[in-house]
Structure 1
């Protein structure tokens, strides 16, 4: 019988020890960890400072039921009372119209860039225009809509015009985030669907988009957070009203950013200062509530592995 000889590598009588780290590597590892933690703490300090300031100065009025149910009609800067119902509803209405217009265009544009237009001149043109929109200031978008909506067509300053300007700001954010999420979907899922004879459009609709749905919703929320606090389009395209107006096609509308702007010039007066901080806190809470709602929708709507 042939003897089986077990060959073992020789290390000149020394065993290879991989359990420890060299002094230089250990120092670099500790240094990198310290720098990352320090950067995180430095970034966290101003965030906590801002949140604490807004919450501590603005929570008083939010505890009153009138804040959520009444407007500022008849309330002067020197007077206490009234609420932010008109501004809250105006902000939500304009944000909803913006999302209804921007989200379908952005998602379809991202689907075209990822699934249909790879390497084509049209895709490069679309990508270039999206990059340009990403850097457009809000006041420029507002002036463009003013020139088209009011100067050329002769329409009045209304809330819908604000939504059109916000679409230009929200569109690139949602499109880019959706594009990146679609790129993360494994090609194996597409190929498996094609192998079963499923058409490409149905594969995109039933497999690709649901797989990336959580990321798409996150992008939509980032876009909404980007536009809900904008002030320039509101100042240019619609006047501020203290009355309740739920019609975005008729008359001036209130909004939380313009409510803040209305009272910011009278911060020396305590009632005005309280309304400014409370409106700012309300805006933060609205964005937070929308983000939490989007997380829940994404969690229960994505494809789950079995």
Structure 2
């Protein structure tokens, strides 16, 4: 009896497979074609990125020396020179902008996550934040020029700081808001059950639980504003000489790189490549640091 049922069982087992084989082969072909195009797109992107980085390293590394970090920018046709004054100017503006945008962004993010669940103001704030995140930086530069520079009658470091602060604040707000939403509800309920007020739960419980993610948002904001050129062209402009007066035009790396890269002088072009390499590796270091901090602590 067993020998009679064996062929029938084998036939019944292979029949569905024979029916599904064409469908399976078509789906497998589609999967392989999709994966092929995905790998080609990824390879193309990595190739272009590697090409840009290699060109930047080859042309910029030769300009990295002690003189570039200790000497001021040279005049037209001058020999040698460095990028000391734009480096100091960029550090001042980015540093002050970070001090301005960090508390504003974190407090706004706390409000959105803790108090703005059903608030119309919170909905408007999120909408405006999303618009500012996607707005071209040159628009922000023109806005600051119209409301500040045109009224005071001169460019200044404060105007540049204000412009890049408007770029950094939405990044910090959105990151803080998203990170606070990752805190488990049980943690909040436990704090409320102990009699803690809502503001204390938000600051000492929720914010502390996601502090690594909030710091990540701040570092990403700093990385973004470090290379912004367009808003500074309309606000801080540039200064060929060393100056720490924030109420006057002040040198900064993005504008100097833009100016030197289009110049006919070889030493200016070399300094532009060196400054671009310096900004690139600084932003790369900040991104690596932010991702490292983000991986160290994830709320669960």
TM-score class, shorter-chain normalisation, is 0.7 to 0.9
Taking the aligned partners of 1:23 and 1:185, their CA distance within structure 2 comes to 45
TM-score (ref. length: structure 2): 0.83
CA distance in 2, matches of 1:216, 1:79: 46
1:164-221 per-residue CA deviation (whole Å, 9 max, x = no partner) reads 1112222222212222222222222212222333322222222211222222222222
1:61-100 correspondence runs (5 A) = 61-62=63-64, 64-72=65-73, 75-100=74-99
CA RMSD of the aligned region, Å? 2.9
Does the 8 Å contact 1:141/1:165 carry over to 2? yes
Once the 2 structures are TM-superposed, how far is the Cα of residue 78 of structure 1 from its aligned partner?
A: 3.2
Residue in 1 that maps onto 2:44: 42
Distance 1:297 1:93 in 2: 25
TM-score by structure 1 length?
0.81
* 1:13-44 Cα shifts (integer Å, max 9, x gaps): 999xxxxx954565555445444433322221
Q: 3-state DSSP class of the match of 1:185?
A: coil
Give the whole-Å Cα distance in 1 for the aligned partners of 2:259 and 2:220: 26
Contact 2:133 2:167 in 1 (8 A): yes
* Distance change (3 Å), C-alpha of 1:218 and 1:31: farther
CA shift in 2, pair 1:38/1:193, >3 Å: farther
Match of residue 18 from structure 1 = none
- Once the two structures are TM-superposed, the CA of residue 242 in structure 1 deviates from its matched residue by 2.3
CA contact (8 A) 1:221 1:290 kept: yes
Cα offset, 1:115, TM superposition: 1.1
Q: In the alignment, which of 55, 60, 63 is matched to residue 62 of structure 2? A: 60
CA–CA separation in structure 2 for the residues paired with 1:159 and 1:284: 22
Partner of 2:258: 261
Q: Distance in 1 between matches of 2:121 and 2:284?
A: 37
Q: Label 1:296 to 1:248 Cα distance change in 2 as closer, same or farther (>3 A).
A: farther
Question: Kindly tell me: are residues 194 and 35 of structure 1, through their superposed partners in 2, closer, same or farther at Cα, counting changes over 3 Å?
Answer: farther
Is the CA contact (8 Å cut-off) linking 1:174 and 1:220 kept in structure 2?
yes
- CA deviation digits over 1:81-116, x for unaligned, max 9? 111111111111111111111121111111111111
User: Could you say which residue in structure 2 is the equivalent of 1:136?
Assistant: 135
Number of residue-to-residue matches in the alignment: 286
CA separation of 1:296 and 1:131: change in aligned 2, threshold 3 A: closer
- Is 1:246 aligned with 2:244? yes
Q: Which has the higher helix share?
A: 2
Mapped partners of 2:280, 2:155: distance in 1:
27
Is the 8 Å Cα contact of residues 233 and 255 (structure 2) preserved in structure 1? yes
**5+ long unaligned stretches in structure 2:** 1-8, 14-20
Are 1:200 and 2:198 counterparts?
A: yes
Correspondence list, 1:152-167, <5 A: 152=151, 154=152, 156-167=154-165
SS at match of 1:61: coil
Task: List gaps (5 residues or longer) in structure 1.
Answer: 1-11, 16-20
Aligned partners of 2:133, 2:66: CA distance in 1, in Å?
A: 39
